[in-house]
Amino acid sequence: MPVKATTLAALLLCAAARGTCAQVDGQTIYGNDDRVDLCQVKSEAVLKLADSTVALFDSSDVTVKAGQARLSLTPYGQEENLCPGERFRDQLEGAFCSGSLVAPDVVMTAGHCVTSREDCAGTKFVFGFSIMEKSEGTPRAVPAGEVYGCKELIGRAQDDHGPDWALVRLDRKVFGHQPLALDTAGGVAKGTPLFVIGHPSGLPTKVAGGARVRDASPRGYFVASLDTYGGNSGSAVFNAGTGLVEGILVRGDTDFVPKGRCRVSYRVPDDGGRGEDVTKISSVLPHLPRVETFAFRAIPLARTLPAASFDGAK
């Protein structure tokens, strides 16, 4: 996506990063590639939002021992056969989807990420799979207390041409992370500025801004120019003007294309390609327990977010 000078609430990211937290090289999806690691994020408000997002791992890929949860990870560049110069090529991947905390013990994700009670039981919801310092590489473990299991699949929907969502009740209330505030009233329109927080290709948490709603008319979802990949499915999509969650990233364009014997990110102009589909939060709200929906209205996290510009990665 192209870098925008538009004033946005909640975002202030450094223009470029060095060290292991990012391999910046200008590969793109929609215009400029706006993905950044959390070590590049200057806004405390955005970091607070990111702290409420989770990575979904297969249970067999999480081993708890001596208070630590070790994650089974693979080299991103090798796994995806990426060409030299691809951003984040030297990081490790492992998550299969993304999610966000929307109540003290409820995670919201995409319906195709958790398709059944059995799927839910075989999934671990991991907080803190992020690179917080430039000198750090991909974390291979997180504190055991940051890993949660599935107690109940509250509900889900999966329409390839409509809403795609799931609500999971965790095995206990989450400690140290605040539920996100959802847009319970407004909704989006064409041109609404957006950003997304999640785990593209199963990598550590990335924030990507500079996006806008392309088409808000489809039933149950809208189309946006978000820089997202497989693994971003289930990611919370935020209104950059309010900080409220507007939806869930669920579908999108091709991630990679061949270049000789390796692959590179698929690049199109900001208004090119098919766009990325986002389930409207209004499709999920009726399925939240009443007490949780009321709590969202009572805790408008976005009011704490300062107005700032979005610079992105160049």
* pLDDT, tens only, 133-177: 988 889 999 999 999 999 999 999 999 999 999 999 999 999 999
* pLDDT, tens only, 71-103: 999 999 999 999 999 999 999 999 999 999 999
Q: Does residue 38 sit in helix, strand or coil?
A: helix
Given a contact cutoff of 8 angstroms between Cβ atoms, the answer to whether 126 and 147 are in contact is yes
Q: What per-residue confidence (pLDDT) applies to 92? A: 96
Residue 301 clears pLDDT 90, i.e. is over it:
no
Indicate whether 263 belongs to any domain. Answer: yes
Helical residues (DSSP H) of 176-253, grouped into ranges: none
Q: What per-residue confidence (pLDDT) applies to 32? A: 77
Range of the domain at 97: 7-307
Q: What per-residue confidence (pLDDT) applies to 171? A: 97
And the tokens for 71?
């994650």
Given a contact cutoff of 8 angstroms between Cβ atoms, the answer to whether 43 and 13 are in contact is yes
Indicate whether 179 belongs to any domain. Answer: yes
Q: Does residue 1 sit in helix, strand or coil?
A: coil
H/E element holding 50? Answer: helix 44-50
Which CATH number covers residue 250? Answer: 2.40.10.120
Indicate whether 1 belongs to any domain. Answer: no
Q: What is the DSSP letter of 231?
A: T
Instruction: Note the pTM of the prediction, 2 decimals.
Output: 0.85
- The residues facing 137 across adjacent strands are none
Return d(Cα 283, Cα 159) in angstroms, integer. Answer: 12
Higher pLDDT: 267 or 304? It is 267
Q: What per-residue confidence (pLDDT) applies to 187? A: 83
| Mean pLDDT across the chain | 84
Given a contact cutoff of 8 angstroms between Cβ atoms, the answer to whether 164 and 157 are in contact is yes
Return d(Cα 194, Cα 239) in angstroms, integer. Answer: 5
Higher pLDDT: 217 or 8? It is 217
Indicate whether 312 belongs to any domain. Answer: no
Higher pLDDT: 229 or 68? It is 68
Residue 27 clears pLDDT 90, i.e. is over it:
no
Chain centroid, CA 91 distance in Å: 17
Return d(Cα 301, Cα 304) in angstroms, integer. Answer: 6
Q: What per-residue confidence (pLDDT) applies to 288? A: 86
Number of domains composing the chain? 1
Return d(Cα 313, Cα 33) in angstroms, integer. Answer: 7
Return d(Cα 211, Cα 11) in angstroms, integer. Answer: 12
Indicate whether 122 belongs to any domain. Answer: yes
Return d(Cα 167, Cα 150) in angstroms, integer. Answer: 10
| Distance between start and end Cα atoms, the chain | 10
Residue 30 clears pLDDT 70, i.e. is over it:
no
Given a contact cutoff of 8 angstroms between Cβ atoms, the answer to whether 211 and 190 are in contact is no
Region for residue 191 given its phi and psi (left: phi exceeds 0; alpha: psi -120 to 50; beta: otherwise): left
